[in-house]
Amino acid sequence: MTHVEKGTTTLYYAPRTRSFTALWLLEELGIDYTLESFDLNTGRHKKPDFIQMNPMGKVPVVVDKGVVVSELGAIAIYMSDLYPDAKLSPAFDHADRATFLRWCFFSSAIMEPALGEKAFKWDVPARSVAWGSFDQMLETLEGGLADGPWLLGESFSAADILVGAGARFGQMFGMIQSEAVDEYIKRLTQRPACERAAAIELREGKRFPLPAQS
């Protein structure tokens, strides 16, 4: 396992993966961090030391002050609360806290499987699965943006990073076609931190290009 000095933050990251979301989060937080970037084709994420940090063998993983955090929702909530100066999460006693948490979990519990349903053409009964259906997910997201510009109204938060990254993915692959969501993604991608993360993603993608198709 890479040695992490107390007081530092390290992001274990691979380009073209969900770890872009954690990269964007750290840029929004405005903290110093070390980027441990690698090519998934090397199997680095399946090595014993990595599995010790995340038994799922998935990126991203964040280590902050010696504490290991995996799963995007947990990373977003933990890091946003740990660095309150960035104002990416409402305080525990704030009226928006419950809504913030709801959207953070919406991104992985509802949005991601709904996108999987759309992409892989799963035929599942909406009443039997937690995410309901793709159409229900999209309708709920559009409703959440009605009072925008952000999910918490005027306050940008880590929930927007999580949900926005998922929406951006769905848009890129033609799964999400919605004027309201398109405008939301446009606002998100114009944020300086998102632009910086996109530039790093591009740089790292060039370091680790996809294998040529035979």
For 74-104, write each residue's pLDDT tens digit.
999 999 999 999 999 999 999 999 999 999 9
pLDDT tens-digit map of 134-185? 999 999 999 999 998 999 999 999 999 999 999 999 999 999 999 999 999 9
Helices (H), the chain: 19-29, 48-53, 72-82, 97-106, 112-120, 134-144, 158-172, 179-189, 192-207
Of 21, 17, 18, the C-alpha closest to 164 is 21
Residue with tokens 């709920």: 140
What CATH number does the domain located at 97-191 have? 1.20.1050.10
Domain borders along the chain are: 9-87+195-207, 97-191
Check if CATH label 3.40.50.300 holds for domain 9-87+195-207. no
Per-residue pLDDT reduced to its tens digit, 37-85: 999 999 999 999 999 999 999 999 999 999 999 999 999 999 999 999 9
14, 37 Cβ separation under 8 angstroms: yes
| 78 beta partners | none
| Pairing of β 67-70 and β 61-64 | antiparallel
Q: Rounded to two decimals, what is the model's pTM?
A: 0.93
**Cα–Cα dist 200/197, whole Å:** 5
- The label of the residue with tokens 């910086």 reads 196
pLDDT(4) > 60: no
Residues 178/138, Cβ–Cβ less than 8 Å? yes
